[in-house]
Homo-oligomer: A and B are copies of this chain.
Amino acid sequence: MAEPLPIGVLGLGRMGQIHARHLAALPEARLVAVASRRPEIAHEIASQYNARPYVHYDDFFADRELRAVVIASATHEHAAHIKAAATAGMAIFCEKPIALRLEDTDEVLRAVTRAGVLLQVGFMRRFDPAFVEAKRRIESGDIGHPLTFKAVSRDPQLPTAEAEESLVRGNLFIDLGVHDFDMARWLMGQEICQVQAVGGALVYRRLAETGGVDNGLINMVFADGSLGSVELSRNAAYGYDVRTEVLGSEGALIIGNLQQTPLSVLTRAGVTHDVFPWFPERFAEAYLAEIKHFVRCVQAGEFPTPNGDDDRAALQIALAATESLKKGEPVNIAAV
């Protein structure tokens, strides 16, 4: 076996901590450094995994032992951190999206190319066993020619003032939608060329002030004329609900995920089972598998996917959908 890859995690929010835990448990990697601007978090996580803590990100990027980095900082910082990592010659795993504007993404991708470093983006669904098997089934022709893509992504957040505040700063089509847009491209094996969107601030009314929405529906047309539909929602009171379908000429695939625990409770009120509460539980295996994939690619010197182009493509669809929603008409992806 190759020497374990010396790697660090930058940003220790929910996702950063998940990545740190996975890397610490991976024989192929060695978690040597973690970085957070909050000292107590940096030190706690570092001591937990016997890694070096950094509070200043410059120091982190100056760590000569680091050959690779997982960037899990705030979205608006991704661009700067990727560029710093590229300059330092580190292989990069970055949470999606790289940036919120295509120009910024392009600039980052040029820097990555110039530096000649590897870049993988955190579309973890590509590593979920159900999605992996769906892809395999489609490619083996089990459902014939893919005709229609269909996805539902509903976040379990409930209307609180704090949640609303956070949503006001976000964009439903980017925050939630890029995962579905990536799946659409990946499973259908096609680029999307047009979108049309409707949406509304149906629960978090304050979003309306800034043109934001908490629920949205996007119809899509693929390059070969096949069709797609994505529903995005911030308010599934009952849990985290991600479902994806592909209808083909000879059959269909349905990826559901409603039940977490295989326990049914039967009483006079009916038969009841639980639901996945949130994405870390639903995609636990996928998060581990994507990091394994990244480490293996770095060790082997191979370009990983999903990569920067995949991130850019998903962002472009999300921006087109945002524009369609604003203008009230279909938008061609190429026009964004």
Contacts and interface: CB of A to CB of B under 8 A. Distances in A.
Given A196-B219, A198-B219, A271-B272, 18 more contacts: A1-B48, A130-B262, A147-B202, A148-B202, A196-B196, A203-B249, A229-B229, A236-B266, A237-B249, A238-B268, A238-B270, A250-B268, A251-B267, A253-B265, A259-B271, A270-B273, A270-B274, A328-B330
Contact of A150 (B231, B249, B251, B271): B231
Contact of A134 (B216, B249, B263, B271): B263
Interface in A110-154: 129-130, 133-134, 137, 142-144, 147-148, 150, 152, 154
A279 to B, nearest CB: 14
Interface residues of A, number: 81
Contact of A254 (B134, B150, B249, B263): B263
Contacts of A266: 143, 236, 238-239, 241, 251-254, 258, 275
A182 B129 CA distance: 32
A336 interface: no
| A-B pairs with lowest CB-CB distance, top 5 | A25-B25, A251-B267, A238-B266, A130-B263, A252-B266
Contacts of A301: none
A24 interface: yes
Contacts of A218: 219
Assembly of this chain: how many copies? 4
A256 B256 CA distance: 13
A41 B330 CA distance: 50
Nearest to A131: B263
Interface of A: 1, 24-25, 27, 47-49, 129-130, 133-134, 137, 142-144, 147-148, 150, 152, 154, 159, 194, 196-200, 202-203, 215-221, 225-229, 231, 233, 235-239, 241, 247-275, 328-330
B196 A130 contact: no
A268 B147 contact: no
Given A253-B265, A266-B275, A271-B273, A198 B221 contact: yes
Given A49-B27, A273-B270, A265 B251 contact: yes
B238 A271 contact: yes
Given A203-B147, A330-B328, A142 B265 contact: yes
A271 B275 contact: yes
Contact of A271 (B27, B274, B329): B274
Nearest to A129: B261
B273 A233 contact: no
Contact of A229 (B25, B231, B267): B231
A319 B137 CA distance: 37
Nearest to A222: B200
Given A24-B25, A27-B48, A262 B251 contact: no
A24 B217 CA distance: 45
